[in-house]
């Protein structure tokens, strides 16, 4: 080991920072965060040190560095960019027996500042002993994604209870088990849900239940995470969704969840597909509900993974009601819904200024409702309409919108397999679709985007193939665009 890892308490302690430029400003910000009283030595201050948020938060000695200045300091940082001055600082510290960090110069440094992941009070420091800062940075990025922001709050919850935990569980192995259970179960869930005081209470309850004096049985730790997988491109997962599928014991997923996303699921997690895409066998909803409850009752972390966003035509509410009734804790992780993913990857700004005042997420399925045709209510106005589940009803949807008042020339973009490598964007108009065959033969999941903004795909497309007229794709001559 080249360096001894150590965390310094610098609260209200004097620290000398030599240099007044941009490099010094980055170290200054970090030192101030640690509560140090910083004196900056520099003949002049650069832009960053003389403007907010740093200006005025340190003492400035308007001078060149002199060795006597290191007296009384806890730590010295040299950031002058002038190696001769930096070497002078390092030599003065060496004589005084003081740790010195010379920025980007491990040879002159007796202390190095690691890359950090800050989830205070939890702080992770990574160092390559100055040999490969890029590698340390890479490791840091990996940890940044793996250790979510809730870890700081979790550390606070544990700190508050620490003495009581030690008193109640004097045996170290019992304590380890307790921490393991608490961190995998409801305490961590509550912290992630932003309910820190309830997490305190849950920890106390778990402590009472687990103390040797108590005969209460430990509470079940199972829970369900309802997670949006986005429209297909795994890059569109949220960090939270990624963490969820990597900590899941079991993943219950839809047919719409792409292979690319499924490839990121923890390797030894069980996978349960519950619906086939495109009208194949579909597990009845009641059966899915019962399965989720049973798996959580086994104490498992269950991820219910859905295409797009779980609350957009995702039956999210139905499943959550069942879980709530069964007393199973749950969390919801949003995903990029198909309309938003398709719009971005097809080059269609859903609320383009001048073209559309708003956008609506609709489903063609409402046509079956006893209440009447749900689409008709959205025929007027110039809002962009994003119509889900409409592949087999393109003609009906177009006719309904025409009857309800949309002009025949209204542009339509059909985005099939949005955000996936096979994405196709087919352009048409309401008039053309209404006059065409009932089903133009699209095979993959398709979203229908209606409105002037849909025409912008021709100009703004960037992903996969360029938009193609629907009629051409279907082997017919395109109709004249009606005026
Ligand atoms: N919860 C999902 C929607 C489920 S309904 C979401 O938020 O996206 C299923 C419909 O979503 C499909 O019929 C199709 O219209 C649309 N859809 C889902 N993924 C799609 C994709 N990759 N490309 C185009 N449409 C998609």
From the candidates 181, 254, 309, 383, which is the catalytic residue?
A: 254
Give the per-residue pLDDT at 478: 59
Q: Which residues pair with 273 in a beta bridge?
A: 253
Higher local confidence (pLDDT), 389 or 281: 389
Query: How far, in Å, from the CA of 409 to the mean position of ligand 1?
Result: 25
Q: What is the pLDDT of residues 122-166, one digit of tens each?
A: 999 999 888 888 898 899 988 988 888 888 999 999 999 999 999
Cα–Cα–Cα angle for 169, 174, 178, rounded to 5 degrees: 85
- What's the CA gap between 226 and 329, in Å, rounded? 11
> Does residue 119 carry a pLDDT above 70?
yes
Query: How far, in Å, from the CA of 275 to the mean position of ligand 1?
Result: 14
Give the per-residue pLDDT at 187: 87
Instruction: Determine the residue of 279, 338, 348, 365 to mutate for testing ligand 1's pocket, defined as the one with the most ligand atoms within 8 A of the Cβ atom.
Output: 338
Expressed in percent and rounded to 5, the helix, strand and coil fractions of the chain are 40, 20, 40
Give the per-residue pLDDT at 354: 85
Query: How far, in Å, from the CA of 132 to the mean position of ligand 1?
Result: 44
Question: Strand 250-253 and strand 301-306: pairing?
Answer: parallel
In this structure, the residue with its CA closest to atom 18 of ligand 1 is 338
Residue 212: pLDDT band (50, 70, 90) is: low
Nearest partner of 48 among 19, 16, 77, 25, judged by Cα: 25
Give the per-residue pLDDT at 264: 93
- What's the CA gap between 159 and 156, in Å, rounded? 5
69-73, 97-101, 172-176, 308-312: the lowest-pLDDT one? 172-176
From the candidates 142, 276, 368, 439, which is the catalytic residue?
A: 276
Angle between helices 196-210 and 150-168 (to 10 degrees): 30
> Does residue 238 carry a pLDDT above 90?
yes
Query: How far, in Å, from the CA of 318 to the mean position of ligand 1?
Result: 18
Q: Say what the alpha-carbon torsion angle 347, 352, 354, 360 is, to the nearest 10 degrees.
A: 120
Instruction: Determine the residue of 231, 237, 317 to mutate for testing ligand 1's pocket, defined as the one with the most ligand atoms within 8 A of the Cβ atom.
Output: 231
- Helix or strand (DSSP H, E) at 293: helix 285-297
Ligand 1 atom closest to the CA of 310, numbered from 1: 1
Go through the chain and tell me how many residues it has.
483
In this structure, the residue with its CA closest to atom 25 of ligand 1 is 446
Q: Is 68 exposed, middle or buried (0-12, 13-18, 19+ CB in 10 A)?
A: exposed
Query: How far, in Å, from the CA of 386 to the mean position of ligand 1?
Result: 10
Residue 368: pLDDT band (50, 70, 90) is: very low
| DSSP symbol at 275 | B
Two structure tokens written together for 402: 């025409």
Does the pTM of the predicted model rise above 0.85? no
Instruction: Determine the residue of 307, 336, 361 to mutate for testing ligand 1's pocket, defined as the one with the most ligand atoms within 8 A of the Cβ atom.
Output: 307
Give the per-residue pLDDT at 315: 87
- What's the CA gap between 230 and 261, in Å, rounded? 9
Q: What percent of the chain has pLDDT over 70?
A: 93
Two structure tokens written together for 59: 């003492």
Backbone angles phi, psi at 67, to 5 degrees: -55, -35
Two structure tokens written together for 465: 């193939």
| Whether 382 is catalytic | no
| DSSP symbol at 473 | H
Asked if the peptide bond before residue 126 counts as cis, ω within 30 degrees of 0, the response is no
Count of helix runs (H) and strand runs (E) in the chain: 16, 18
Q: What is the pLDDT of residues 19-52, one digit of tens each?
A: 999 999 999 999 999 999 999 999 999 999 999 9
Q: What residue ranges line ligand 1, CB within 6 angstroms?
A: 231-232, 256, 306-309, 312-314, 337-338, 342, 388-389, 415, 417-419, 445-447
In this structure, the residue with its CA closest to atom 12 of ligand 1 is 389
Q: What is the pLDDT of residues 400-449, one digit of tens each?
A: 999 999 999 999 999 999 999 999 999 999 999 999 887 777 889 999 99
- What's the CA gap between 380 and 392, in Å, rounded? 23
Ligand 1 atom closest to the CA of 387, numbered from 1: 15
Give the per-residue pLDDT at 366: 61
Instruction: Determine the residue of 234, 340, 443, 447 to mutate for testing ligand 1's pocket, defined as the one with the most ligand atoms within 8 A of the Cβ atom.
Output: 447
DSSP string, 336-381: --HHHHHHHHHT--TT-TTT-S-EEEEEGGGGG-TT--GGGGG-SS
Ligand 1 atom closest to the CA of 230, numbered from 1: 8
Higher local confidence (pLDDT), 245 or 378: 245
Tokens 């150590």 sit at which residue? Answer: 6
Q: What is the pLDDT of residues 443-483, one digit of tens each?
A: 899 999 999 999 999 999 999 999 999 988 877 765 544 43
Nearest partner of 116 among 26, 235, 240, 21, judged by Cα: 26
Query: How far, in Å, from the CA of 456 to the mean position of ligand 1?
Result: 21
Sign of CA dihedral 41, 46, 51, 52: negative
Average pLDDT over all residues of the chain: 90
Give the per-residue pLDDT at 257: 95
Region 386-391: mean pLDDT is: 93
Q: What 3-state DSSP class applies to 115?
A: strand
Give the per-residue pLDDT at 483: 39
- What's the CA gap between 221 and 298, in Å, rounded? 8
Give the per-residue pLDDT at 373: 58
- The CA–CA distances, whole Å, from 206 to 33, 169, 330 equal 35, 12, 18
Two structure tokens written together for 131: 């040999």
Query: How far, in Å, from the CA of 346 to the mean position of ligand 1?
Result: 15
- What's the CA gap between 94 and 106, in Å, rounded? 14
Ligand 1 atom closest to the CA of 423, numbered from 1: 23
Q: Is 218 exposed, middle or buried (0-12, 13-18, 19+ CB in 10 A)?
A: middle
Phi-psi region for residue 72, left (φ > 0), alpha (ψ -120 to 50) or beta?
A: left
| DSSP symbol at 212 | T
Q: What is the pLDDT of residues 47-106, one digit of tens each?
A: 999 999 999 999 999 999 999 999 999 999 999 999 999 999 999 999 999 999 999 999
In this structure, the residue with its CA closest to atom 13 of ligand 1 is 389
| Whether 276 is catalytic | yes
Ligand 1 atom closest to the CA of 390, numbered from 1: 15
Region 288-311: mean pLDDT is: 94
Query: How far, in Å, from the CA of 405 to the mean position of ligand 1?
Result: 26
């Amino acid at each position: 080991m080249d360096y001894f890892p150590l965390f310094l308490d610098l609260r209200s302690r004097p620290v000398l920072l030599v240099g007044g430029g941009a490099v010094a400003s980055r170290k200054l910000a970090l030192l101030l965060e640690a509560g140090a009283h910083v004196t900056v030595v520099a003949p002049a201050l650069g832009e960053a040190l003389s403007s907010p948020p740093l200006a005025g938060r340190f003492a400035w000695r308007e001078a060149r560095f002199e060795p006597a200045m290191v007296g009384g300091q806890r730590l010295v940082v040299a950031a002058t960019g002038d190696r001769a001055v930096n070497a002078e600082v390092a030599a003065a510290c060496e004589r005084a027996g003081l740790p010195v960090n010379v920025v980007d110069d491990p040879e002159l440094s007796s202390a190095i500042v690691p890359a950090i992941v800050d989830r205070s009070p939890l702080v992770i420091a990574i160092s390559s002993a100055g040999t490969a800062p890029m590698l340390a940075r890479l490791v840091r990025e990996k940890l940044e994604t793996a250790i979510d922001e809730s870890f700081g709050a979790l550390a606070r919850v544990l700190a508050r209870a620490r003495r009581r935990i030690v008193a109640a569980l004097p045996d170290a192995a019992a304590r380890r088990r307790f921490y393991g259970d608490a961190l995998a179960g409801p305490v961590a869930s509550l912290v992630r849900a932003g309910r820190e005081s309830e997490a305190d209470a849950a920890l106390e309850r778990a402590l009472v239940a687990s103390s040797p004096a108590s005969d209460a049985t430990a509470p079940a730790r199972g829970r369900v995470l309802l997670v949006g997988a986005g429209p297909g491109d795994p890059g569109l997962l949220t960090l939270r969704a990624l963490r969820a599928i990597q900590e899941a014991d079991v993943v219950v997923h839809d047919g719409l969840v792409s292979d690319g996303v499924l490839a990121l699921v923890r390797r030894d997690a069980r996978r349960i597909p519950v619906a086939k895409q495109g009208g194949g066998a579909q597990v009845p909803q009641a059966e899915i509900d019962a399965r989720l409850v049973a798996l959580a009752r086994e104490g498992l972390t269950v991820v219910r993974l859905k295409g797009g966003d779980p609350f957009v035509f995702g039956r999210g509410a139905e499943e959550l009601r069942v879980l709530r009734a069964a007393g199973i804790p749950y969390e919801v992780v949003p995903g990029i819904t198909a309309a938003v993913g398709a719009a971005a990857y097809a080059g269609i700004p859903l609320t383009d200024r001048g073209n559309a005042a708003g956008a609506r997420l609709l489903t063609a399925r409402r046509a079956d409702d006893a209440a009447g045709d749900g689409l008709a209510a959205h025929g007027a106005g110039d809002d962009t309409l994003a119509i889900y589940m409409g592949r087999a009803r393109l003609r009906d949807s177009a006719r309904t919108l025409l009857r309800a008042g949309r002009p025949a020339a209204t542009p339509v973009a059909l985005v099939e397999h949005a955000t996936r490598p096979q994405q196709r964007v087919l352009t048409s108009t309401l008039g053309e679709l209404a006059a065409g065959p009932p089903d133009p033969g699209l095979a993959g999941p398709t979203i229908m985007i209606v409105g002037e903004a849909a025409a912008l795909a021709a100009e703004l497309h960037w992903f996969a193939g360029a938009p193609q007229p629907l009629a051409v794709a279907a082997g017919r001559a395109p109709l004249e665009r009606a005026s």
